[in-house]
Structure 1
Amino acid sequence: MSHVRRVAAAALLLASFSAWTELAQVWSFMPAGEQFDGSVGLADLNGDGALEIITPTIQGAVIALDAQGRELWRWRQPDPISAPPAIAEVVASSPGPEILVLTNTGKVYCLASGTGEILWLDALSGSMHWGSAGIAVADLNGDGTLEMVMADARGEVSAKRGDGSEFWNHREEGGLKSAPAVGDLDGDGKPEVLIAGSAVTLLCLDNTGKPLWSMAGTPGAGAPVLADLDGDGTLEILLGVGDALCVIGHDGETRWSVPLSGPMDSGVSVADLDGDGSPEIIVVDLKGGLAALTAAGQPLWTAEVEGRARRSPSVADLDGDGSPEILVAGYSGAVHVFNAKGELLDRADLGGASNATAAVARLREDEPLTVICPVVTGSLTAFQWVGGGNGGAVLWPEYRFDSLRTGVAKLPKQESRVRITRFDTGRAYVGRNEFSVEVENPKGEKLAVTLEVRQGERGAQKQVEGDAPVLRAAAPYVMGGREEAELVFECVVRRGDEELARQSRGLKAAPFAAELAEVGLAALRMETLAGTLPADSAPGVEREALYWQAKLPGLRERASAAALLSSGELNALTAELARARADAGRMAAVAALRAASDSPLHLRAANPWATFGGMDELLEGRVAPPEMRVGAFSGEIESGALNVFNLGGAPMTLRVEAGPLTHTDGSTAPASALIVREAVAVPTQMSDTAADAIPLLNQAGTVMVPAFDARQLYFEVETKGLAPGEWGAELRLRGLDTAATEAKTTLRLTVWPAALPEKQTLGLCHWGYVHSSMLKDMPEAALADQVRHGTNVFVGLFPPRGEFDADGNLTGPLDFSKHDDYLDQHAQHGLILFYTYDSALKGPAEKFSDTWNRAHVAYLRAWVEHLKARGMDYADWALYTIDEPGLRDGLVDIHNKLGKLAREADPAIRIYTDPVGDASLEDLQSMAPYTDIWCPHRNTIVNKPDTTKLDFIKSTGGTVFTYECQDNVKHRSPLGYYRGQAWLAWMHGFKAVGFWAYCTSQYDPWFNNGEAEYLLIYPGDGVVPSKRWHAVRDGIEDHAMLSALRDAADAAEAAGRNPEAVAEARRLLGADATVIARFCGLDDDGETPGPGGLAGQRRVEDRRWKAVQEARAETARLLAELTRETH
């Protein structure tokens, strides 16, 4: 007796809220006495527009099911079936497609789709290797009718016509062991047939069965797959050989191979994961290793699926966000769902092992995508991704791609058109949410993206304009806590008045349904996984599961009465449920990762610039491979980060052993080339924490990771003196425990041949008044730290002291003692801006009186002569008249008066000013005669849409800097606010950047003092840097390499060399650099957490870091190209 088991309680909970996303079971078919070993077939058997499911069993049955999992018919014969059915219209006289079945004994059946009736029966000469055969259906001779190709273990390859008669036959000595692939390899319009052999690696036959070539060597593993990897219109062959994936050309020559973590059966798929028009390769092996590769074989990411997997991953956009998910079934007893970056999104329990592909299809029009996966122990389970609307494109639906089983990847041709590639409505939590989209703009056209969120008669719009290759837009919306909401989300993309794309989605959501669904599902996952976990984590996970199961009824009851709560009570419930979903979800993610890991100690490489989220990173799916990769120009200091997760229930103290860095030639770097730090969370002015401080790892080199918690190690790599090429350092973390817990990974460093220019190309100022700060007892260390980070513009508060009499004459020599002490330390490192100098002259007359003015001119002349005597030129210093003219009335006038006196004293004296936005254009015009160095405020002048003031400043011919002084710095984007300012300076041609402030504050930055926060460093045993301070330094280095690229392009152009590379360099230095410059306050992603919170900011920093890394790698490539000698 068979029956369909319907949705469990957790799935019902899911169904009540469609914004929650997880692979939820919708039905399970469990026929008595049957077991499943082959993948399912999918086809419309009866012409009603819906797909039916056809599944073979080990006991010899073929069963047809409808989209709800109800049995339509069952046919049986006595022999086991472990190969999936092929489904195609091969019999002209029979209505609908036919079902083609190959048994393990070599019998071939053709069944009618409507009833399972046998239409014809034939047999091969031998049997099949278990699960290693199949039927492929294709038009071999181009006559418009389909033929079938199959092979057996004895070596017979048989091509049959639709009526079962033989078309041709070939016998291969040594036998064959795979399902065939059929496709046109050489572009002549005639397909070839490829089969892996027992004696040969791969056999290739033409469309008449004549051997074309064979590969000798290691026997092939599994079935070959065919795909056009390089876009040349012909197919390449992908095949597992030993412990490697091989790509073979149409001539049988191996193009490249990539080692895997173990041997591969038939676990390869091909799909465009990132939407760039170029396919990626997804491969899973028999040791449970999953990897994604570029079409050229370069590794993108790796992951694990707990146990061996024999069949190809399926690839489909389950949640409809424009980015596909990857599904893998295998001996883990689960379907693992990964996003396109290799981050685990879900692990759906199957109840047993599977030897099948988890097929994905839209079984009925306007319904969500359904995932169908058979289990060896006798169940066939269907899942849907709840909360993702109806999903999107299916890129690899079934085993061997589809039910024709040819193994040919049908890659869609990418149209060069504007399209919405991501459409995310958010979770609809009570409170603030975010609706976000991404729009592909391949031609870089000027587009307007309009987002609208409507609820009944109310609506809100947001519009973003731009010409970037990918436009991102986000609109906040608020979900109320008292009544159900019916929301409509819409995105419209226009070019002028022309509409290019439109997408909308409705969402019906009850208050707190999302939060309760997430808590309930997290508790269920914890309970399910607890029984599978080792003793180091099972008790803790089980306790958490019981806690949330006990807590949920009360939360549900309070949520159901939300309409009756006072505002205070509703706010308290909202906050409590937000914490609950985060806490429960975090532990469920820990349990899932522990279930897939051999050890409670888990290492993962991280973006060093994204705010470290601890265990929240697991909840967000930020689980990258452990190996860190760093690229640097010779002489740079670059950074890497490693997240250390403790998935066990006891704290771990780990000793960190790093290095040495070793070149591929065997040479080693000094120990100082690799510095290990720990990212330490500190309180912020927002009353939360940020892992911003990065002190050196302690004297013992240990890091303590609490139970079910995480820490981040931060690595500083000093490349000065390192030879170009590839370097590596092993990182070993060992627990100070009796279990000898240990984990290893590697830091890979590429030192590019181009070197950082000796002369710094961009100035850096930060108002670091060390003498009056918490660093006052370590001035030498503070100065060394400033210089190491690129500081070369110093604001000096030690002008010479002088006095004058009633006639305006100086009464004696000026006092240069403190002045000269300061210059002795700082002048060698850069430009000195002398500030507060107008207060250093004392006498009986008021400031700006005739007497004071006369004395002031004499004072300046004596000062200039002293500076000359010290060997300082006018270019080495400037007068800083007054801070931020325009901030208050009268400041512009002070600048002009002091400037006029400086011009009278010596016209060669340079004068600096840092005006803010409240300074009018007329103010700036009045200041121009008395200004040589302009430093306009970034937010209120430089980044303003109205560029009138900035245009005027640039038109004066003076040197231009810029600066910024916003607070809440511990949450500000290291890549946008800090590193990005150097790219902003590049975009505008500015000569220096500035930040308030290095150390100037009376408050200890280690604590939340209830005041605005600005500092770049922390006091300690020496100067403790922040991540942001390192980002500033990296921006200075970026600017230097952009300058080097410009010089190389200029030289090549002047010599008439390499015009293509020159053009590419101009593009990078212009449009590409501008994209990164816009991170600095000009793009919509902002510089502090938005509606998406810290998780959203982490995603933003990931995008920004990818853009910076790509630009730097391209700079390295172009520098090598442009400086290469030509002969």
Structure 2
Amino acid sequence: MGVVRSRDPRARQMRLTKHLFFDRLTVKTLKWWSLVAGVAALAETPGWGMEIAWTRMAGQWPVEASPLVGRFTSGDQTEILIVNRGGQVLLWSAEGKPIGDGQDGAVCQLPTNRWTTALTRVEAEGGARFVVASVEGLVVGLDAKFQKLWQHKLPGETSWGRAVPAVVASNLVFSDQSGTATCLNPNGHMVWTNALGAGPCKSPPQTFSLKPGEDSVLVPAGSTLFCCDSDGRIRWRRELDQEILTRPEVLSFGERQIILCGTASGALFAFNTAGEILWQRATDDTFSNWIVFLPRRNAEPLILFTGLWGNLHAVDVQGRHVWTHLFRAKTRAAPLVLDTDGDGRSEVFVPTFHQHVYAFDETGALTDDVRLSGVMPSALVPITGSLSNHHELLVTTTTLLGYRLKAGLPRSPYGPTPVAQVVTLHPPATGEWDENPALLVNNPRGGLVNVQLSLTDTQGWTRIVGRLTSRSAFEIPLPRLVSNRVWSLRATARDVAGKILDAKEWTPTQRRSVEPAQTSVDGLRAWATPSFAAFDETRLTPSRREILAGETKLVSVSSLYLDEVDEAAFVVGSTRDEFTRARVTLSRLARTDGAAFGGSVVLREVISTGSVNGERVPDALPALGEAGLIAIPPRRAVKIWVSVDAHGAQPGNYTGVVSIASLTADVTKIELPVHVEVLNLRMPRNFPLTLCTWDYVPNRWFASRSNEVLDDMARHGVDVFPRTIIPSAKADAAGKLAIDWSALDAELARLERRGKILFHLGHPPIEFTTQKTDAEKRPVELDYIRALRDHLRERGRGYADFAFYLLDEPGLDNGLNLHVLMDAGELFREADPKLLTYTDPVAGLSWKDYERIEPLVDVWAPNMRLVSGLLSGDPRSARILKQRTVWSYECVSQVKSLSPLCYNRANAWRAKFFGLSGIGFWTHSTTEVDHWFAGKGINDEYALVYPGELPVPSVRWEAVRDGLEDIAAVTLLEEQIQRCRRAGTKGQLVQQAEETLRIAERDVMELSDEAFTESRDFLRAGDRVIGHTWADQNAFRRYRKQFAELTLALASE
């Protein structure tokens, strides 16, 4: 369609000052240089580091847009403007102090829409000073006092976070998903519009000048790139291979201009100003939204862009790949390219959807990794630091937070670390190339170390993987692409000052098979394996790692405490071409003195079940039963889990034999020795941490045999029980109550001596025989609550034995239902201030709302993501963790795809680190979905057990108990440390124990960090597995052995 001109003549000359990350980078004349050699060697000097200068709350809604920095009021001080998704415009000082009188410094409330794009500042003789567009396509102009001057509705919606106008002459050009470009002047009047008719405009338009005074605008629409003049008339159009995903960008250097954009096929296109294609390059990735440029000293600039699901790419002006830094996290923001310290070298800053800001140098090496709180959809913004030639950075998140980052050496978010020393790198052995090869890093002192792994192909394209970590031992898995090309690999380990601690170079050689070192008889093979080691039913021989660990010939449970449950495992593989039915039996376990093991052992088959993500997960653990029968498919393997319960056992070393006998006559029996080491250390009767799993038994899965179900829960540490069984009541005209206690009494009997009850109760369920006003109902409701209190006391439950569950997840809807909690909390406070109340807030809870509910809540259980905000200075986390009783809970989705070690087991460790007294998981078995089958939606696999006559445990359920036992072992060790400190004895051993605890605690915090971010927020559907490595599962075993040895040594006289 043609251009439609507006008749409004009042367009005035203006100057538009845009946020730095939207600026077009114009690179001054550069001599053409060849590519700098040695990219794969990586920089030998440390890069720019970041630390948090301050953290501030940013209103009632998540912040999706970058801040705007400038001088906005009458003073000469730098200020910050932020718009959040709900349309609050906040004005802060450069120090993050609220200037506006509203919530968290609000100065304006935009109309009810979704506001996800930054404000654009307009400087003109008249009209708006600020313009902003919503997802719904509403464009609003604000005056210098942040009052609405005008609004204009675009024909269609805009793309999330990309409603960025282009500046054409004196006007602003917006595009929308109707495929229309609209030009507005500063007064909000339409100058022209052009319905391009080529598909939706999902990426913003961009301006460039062919020559001074001759502006053009580039508008992507569908798969077509349009070049229009300043009046909206089309100069040229170019059809590309697929939909355009990035805003067009113009790189100017010398006398040349190159137009660049990326498409849905992963192709990067370069054009001249006449629209002719100069080159096209496949990127092997899906584009995110933006392209930026990296100027370099004595070299041509680089073209930078991120993939939608991770990776930072650098391409030269001829379209050749230079480097790609590989990482796995969604990105929507433009990388910020900035010389932060005035040294002539630019840094690159990339915020991600999994709570991390990455900093890279010009060669693509990782220089810092800062953990914040929440999704970061928008670009970082520079703000002048204390030195005029230095910059600091602003970043906002969807957890209602704003941060300012300043220069500083990289640091661990989990506390001080020693200087990294004696760090060694171990490339994979040749034989490991068939088995998920990885670079192993040993860092025994737990110092902060920066490890860079680079892989360069024969075309000179270098892939880089960086890790900034204080973990004592970890692996960097080699990318899958290594297996099918010729590569040169190099790894370096540096301390935070840039000193090289170790370096390795290697070239993968020809693969060779692994020699089997397992018991093998007549087509059946069996070998021991760690219980949490990866299992692949198609692998019929032990992995090289299993062989090198020397554990394939012995099924072993070591360092087992009295009254503890632990596990071992073994694999049985069949090379036969038909199904094999076999019987698995375990002999009597006994010590050398003949004493039998007094505990119990259960053999369970590890069954793989489907996940929402799409993979099969070795997770269900049904017991083999009295017959001990297993069925092995042709050329497949099965894994057997050996659960050992030391309740009733005596200390000592017990041995026995597990036998695998095929029911087929021509296959001989296989035997594996079994060893169980029981220490003279006893688990406490009650774990140091409480556990809540929202079971609501009897429920749909377990309608009967409730006591047996609850007994199993107790064995796993559950001692907090939310319940919806509330006595019904009737009130006569005089307000006299008749309460039916029968259902409650049955529930109290079921839960007697099992733990605390959380009653879901707001207003009591009272049936009034006559019409009553709320005011008239109030005294009757108070009488009901007091009667319930007294009845519970008569049944042996005092104030500490129950609490009232006021509201589930306040903050989930950004405060819309907070009145429910307020109303109920005030009712209980009036009835009896000693009654305990409970709630479980999430990170959508604003500071204003937190302050409203704080006086009404006694037991706090924020989700672990909100708790973890303490690491980056979240004021809500800091305040909540000062309360008397603080637990946490977890409810991330697609949990089958999460490592049971990094998520289920580590949850207790994280609670211990933050000083909490309890943890929770949604849910034990409250679901309508049968977990034996793959779920269809992201909320279809929360349950920790599988349905059966009684609960069938999962690997995840066992890991929950293991985590509670880990912290019990930590607590026993800490008690011995304190005892020795008071006595002034064993000082060196005490120091060793404290250092061991420090390293172990930080190791688990780091290895689990990613699992405690909602995977659907930052990983692509079908790619949401967050696993653990061989080093991870070894770490837990190593810690428990060390804890036991140190506890025994400190306890000895």
What is residue 1009 of structure 2 aligned with on the other side? 1081
Distance 2:1023 2:524 in 1: 25
The aligned amino acid for 1:498 is: G
Q: Within the alignment, does 1:1119 sit opposite 2:1047 as a pair?
A: yes
Distance 1:938 1:773 in 2: 28
What is residue 137 of structure 1 aligned with on the other side? none
Give the 5 Å matches for 1:481-492.
491-492=491-492
Q: Within the alignment, does 1:1107 sit opposite 2:1030 as a pair?
A: no
Q: Is the 8 A contact 2:698 2:706 kept in 1?
A: yes
Bigger relative contact order, structure 1 or 2, given CA contacts below 8 A and separation 6+? Answer: 2
Deviation of the 1:689 alpha carbon: 1.8
Deviation of the 1:997 alpha carbon: 0.7
Distance 2:772 2:719 in 1: 32
Q: Is the 8 A contact 2:518 2:553 kept in 1?
A: no
Deviation of the 1:859 alpha carbon: 2.1
Alpha-carbon spacing, 1:814–1:1086, altered in 2? closer, same or farther (3 Å): closer
Give the 5 Å matches for 1:948-987.
948-949=874-875, 951-987=877-913
3-state DSSP of counterpart to 2:739: coil
Q: Within the alignment, does 1:788 sit opposite 2:751 as a pair?
A: no
Counterpart pick for 2:996 among 1044, 1058, 1068 = 1068
What is residue 987 of structure 2 aligned with on the other side? 1059
Q: Is the 8 A contact 1:658 1:729 kept in 2?
A: yes
Q: Is the 8 A contact 2:446 2:999 kept in 1?
A: no
Between Structure 1 and Structure 2, the one with more helix by share is 1
Counterpart pick for 1:937 among 863, 867, 886 = 863
Counterpart pick for 2:818 among 892, 901, 911 = 892
Residues 518-574 of structure 1: CA deviation (Å, up to 9, x unaligned)? 8xx9xxxxxxxxxxxxxxxxxxxxxxxxxxxxxxxxxxxxxxxxxxxxxxxxxxxxx
3-state DSSP of counterpart to 2:1035: helix
Q: Is the 8 A contact 2:892 2:1012 kept in 1?
A: no
Give the 5 Å matches for 1:229-240.
none
Counterpart pick for 1:745 among 672, 696, 706 = 672
Give the 5 Å matches for 1:768-783.
768-783=695-710
Q: Is the 8 A contact 1:861 1:905 kept in 2?
A: yes
Distance 1:821 1:595 in 2: 55
Q: CA RMSD in A?
A: 3.9
3-state DSSP of counterpart to 2:758: strand
Give the 5 Å matches for 1:542-561.
none
Counterpart pick for 1:872 among 784, 797, 816 = 797
Deviation of the 1:473 alpha carbon: 4.5
The aligned amino acid for 1:421 is: H
Residues 848-907 of structure 1: CA deviation (Å, up to 9, x unaligned)? 943454443222212111111222111111111111010013233322332222111111
What is residue 740 of structure 2 aligned with on the other side? 815
What is residue 468 of structure 2 aligned with on the other side? 465
Deviation of the 1:619 alpha carbon: 7.7
Q: Is the 8 A contact 1:634 1:755 kept in 2?
A: yes
Deviation of the 1:937 alpha carbon: 0.7
Counterpart pick for 2:915 among 966, 986, 989 = 989
Deviation of the 1:772 alpha carbon: 3.0
Deviation of the 1:1035 alpha carbon: 1.5
Deviation of the 1:1057 alpha carbon: 2.5
Deviation of the 1:451 alpha carbon: 4.8
Q: Within the alignment, does 1:1046 sit opposite 2:974 as a pair?
A: yes
Alpha-carbon spacing, 1:642–1:1044, altered in 2? closer, same or farther (3 Å): same
Distance 2:762 2:667 in 1: 64
Counterpart pick for 2:833 among 899, 904, 907 = 907
Alpha-carbon spacing, 1:464–1:1004, altered in 2? closer, same or farther (3 Å): same
Give the 5 Å matches for 1:645-1044.
645-670=573-598, 673-804=600-731, 810-838=735-763, 840-843=765-768, 849-888=774-813, 889-942=815-868, 945-949=871-875, 951-1011=877-937, 1012-1044=940-972
Alpha-carbon spacing, 1:417–1:718, altered in 2? closer, same or farther (3 Å): closer
Deviation of the 1:454 alpha carbon: 6.6
Alpha-carbon spacing, 1:614–1:1080, altered in 2? closer, same or farther (3 Å): same
Q: Within the alignment, does 1:604 sit opposite 2:607 as a pair?
A: no
Distance 1:1062 1:880 in 2: 42
Deviation of the 1:834 alpha carbon: 0.8
Q: Within the alignment, does 1:615 sit opposite 2:538 as a pair?
A: yes
Give the 5 Å matches for 1:9-408.
none
3-state DSSP of counterpart to 2:1002: helix
The aligned amino acid for 1:838 is: H
Distance 1:838 1:1102 in 2: 52
Q: Is the 8 A contact 1:1072 1:1111 kept in 2?
A: yes
Deviation of the 1:1049 alpha carbon: 1.8
Q: Within the alignment, does 1:422 sit opposite 2:427 as a pair?
A: yes
3-state DSSP of counterpart to 1:880: strand
Distance 2:805 2:430 in 1: 51
Deviation of the 1:472 alpha carbon: 4.5
Q: Is the 8 A contact 2:574 2:632 kept in 1?
A: yes
Distance 1:939 1:899 in 2: 25
Distance 1:595 1:862 in 2: 67
Distance 2:725 2:857 in 1: 22
Q: Is the 8 A contact 1:797 1:837 kept in 2?
A: no
Q: Is the 8 A contact 2:764 2:785 kept in 1?
A: no
The aligned amino acid for 1:690 is: V
The aligned amino acid for 1:867 is: L
The aligned amino acid for 2:965 is: E
Q: Is the 8 A contact 1:629 1:749 kept in 2?
A: yes
Alpha-carbon spacing, 1:944–1:705, altered in 2? closer, same or farther (3 Å): farther
Residues 482-522 of structure 1: CA deviation (Å, up to 9, x unaligned)? xx9887765454434524258586989xxxxx9xx98xx9x
Q: Is the 8 A contact 1:1017 1:1026 kept in 2?
A: yes
Residues 451-497 of structure 1: CA deviation (Å, up to 9, x unaligned)? 556776976655432223335446868699xxx98877654544345
Gap regions ≥5 residues in structure 1: 1-414, 509-513, 522-587
Residues 343-365 of structure 1: CA deviation (Å, up to 9, x unaligned)? xxxxxxxxxxxxxxxxxxxxxxx
Q: Is the 8 A contact 2:695 2:923 kept in 1?
A: yes
Deviation of the 1:643 alpha carbon: 0.5
Deviation of the 1:1007 alpha carbon: 1.0
Q: Is the 8 A contact 2:474 2:1031 kept in 1?
A: no
Deviation of the 1:963 alpha carbon: 1.1
Distance 2:771 2:479 in 1: 56
Distance 2:816 2:865 in 1: 22
The aligned amino acid for 1:420 is: L
The aligned amino acid for 2:469 is: G
Deviation of the 1:745 alpha carbon: 1.1
Distance 2:653 2:976 in 1: 24
Larger radius of gyration: 1
What is residue 115 of structure 1 aligned with on the other side? none
3-state DSSP of counterpart to 1:616: coil
Gap regions ≥5 residues in structure 2: 1-419
Counterpart pick for 2:448 among 443, 446, 449 = 446
Deviates more, 1:660-669 or 1:621-630: 621-630
Deviation of the 1:945 alpha carbon: 4.3
What is residue 567 of structure 2 aligned with on the other side? 639
3-state DSSP of counterpart to 1:770: coil
Counterpart pick for 2:557 among 618, 624, 630 = 630
Deviation of the 1:1013 alpha carbon: 0.9
3-state DSSP of counterpart to 1:749: strand
Deviation of the 1:418 alpha carbon: 3.9
* % identical aligned pairs: 26
3-state DSSP of counterpart to 1:1112: helix
Q: Is the 8 A contact 1:975 1:1105 kept in 2?
A: yes
Q: Is the 8 A contact 2:425 2:503 kept in 1?
A: yes
3-state DSSP of counterpart to 2:998: helix
Deviation of the 1:1073 alpha carbon: 2.7
Q: Is the 8 A contact 2:662 2:668 kept in 1?
A: yes
Distance 1:674 1:974 in 2: 22
